[in-house]
Chains A and B, each alone.
Chain A
């Protein structure tokens, strides 16, 4: 193992600990729960159409749950994409550019999704 602390520390590395690993698991659980909640509501009696579909996301508790899920997605995808980039993109400059792009992409998507959700 090469020296990886102080000024030699990899600036585009992971956070060398449990936190990211754990947050990836916990956000996964959150998204899995959300998936089940949506599927259950879709399968509830009543013909599928705009009223039923939009009605699912219009309820306040569902908005809050969806909001938490969007934030979970943001964190989850960030950890996952960073792992992928750390494995396949070795030059620091290229990795930094792609990591910044990933963050911008995710924050932009999250903002759009929240906007759609909150005007319901």
Chain B
């Protein structure tokens, strides 16, 4: 199926369309790149949520208690585990964006733009961000 799609995509000239993109196996560097965008967009959308958490966590001792209760008992009729899941999405987004960003800066500064480095550093980025997310997720849920 995928091969057929790639075949038809090859015959057709012009810019790549979404259907062509799905028939193309993305290399690790490409996966890191698109996830950099996805994680950035997630954090953009959740920015008011982050500021709300910052607000309740620093404003007063009473609001700090509310802040802890958000994840234990929930808030506004939404259960606590859901807030934990959103926090986990934010944790992954931040870690991935951070590590992929450091990779970018390193490549810019040292001109490490070989195919091999692109691949190995992309795999390291994916592994590190997922492992750290699992570790912090474990701390968050258990």
Hey, which bits of chain A sit against chain B, CB under 8 A? Answer: 25, 28-29, 32, 35, 49-50, 53-54, 57, 77, 80-81, 84, 102, 105-106, 109, 112-113, 116, 119-120
Q: Indicate whether A53 sits within 8 Å of B58 (C-beta atoms), given known contacts A109-B47, A112-B51, A116-B51.
A: yes
B69 to chain A, nearest CB (A): 13
Tell me which of B41, B54, B104 contacts A116 (CB under 8 A): B54
Chain B facing A: main interface SS: helix
A-B contact pairs, 25 of them (CB 8 A): A25-B104, A25-B105, A28-B101, A28-B104, A28-B105, A29-B105, A32-B98, A32-B102, A35-B98, A49-B64, A53-B57, A53-B58, A54-B57, A57-B58, A77-B44, A77-B47, A81-B40, A81-B41, A81-B44, A84-B41, A105-B47, A109-B51, A112-B48, A113-B54, A116-B54
- Tell me whether B108 is interfacial, beta carbon within 8 Å: yes
Tell me which of B51, B64, B102 contacts A50 (CB under 8 A): B64
Hey, which bits of chain B sit against chain A, CB under 8 A? Answer: 37, 40-41, 43-44, 47-48, 51, 54-55, 57-61, 64, 98, 101-102, 104-105, 108
A106 to B41, CA, bound (A): 13
A109 to B43, CA, bound (A): 12
A113 to B51, CA, bound (A): 6
Query: Is there contact, CB below 8 Å, between A84 and B40?
Result: yes
Which B residues are in CB contact (< 8 Å) with A50? 60-61, 64
Which A residues are in CB contact (< 8 Å) with B64? 49-50, 53-54
Query: Is there contact, CB below 8 Å, between B40 and A120?
Result: no
Which A residues are in CB contact (< 8 Å) with B59? 116, 119
Which A residues are in CB contact (< 8 Å) with B55? 112, 116
A109 to B44, CA, bound (A): 10
A4 to chain B, nearest CB (A): 18
Query: Is there contact, CB below 8 Å, between A84 and B58?
Result: no
A24 to B97, CA, bound (A): 13
Which B residues are in CB contact (< 8 Å) with A57? 58
Which A residues are in CB contact (< 8 Å) with B44? 77, 80-81, 102, 105
Q: Indicate whether A80 sits within 8 Å of B101 (C-beta atoms), given known contacts A50-B64, A57-B58.
A: no
Which A residues are in CB contact (< 8 Å) with B41? 81, 84
A35 to B98, CA, bound (A): 10
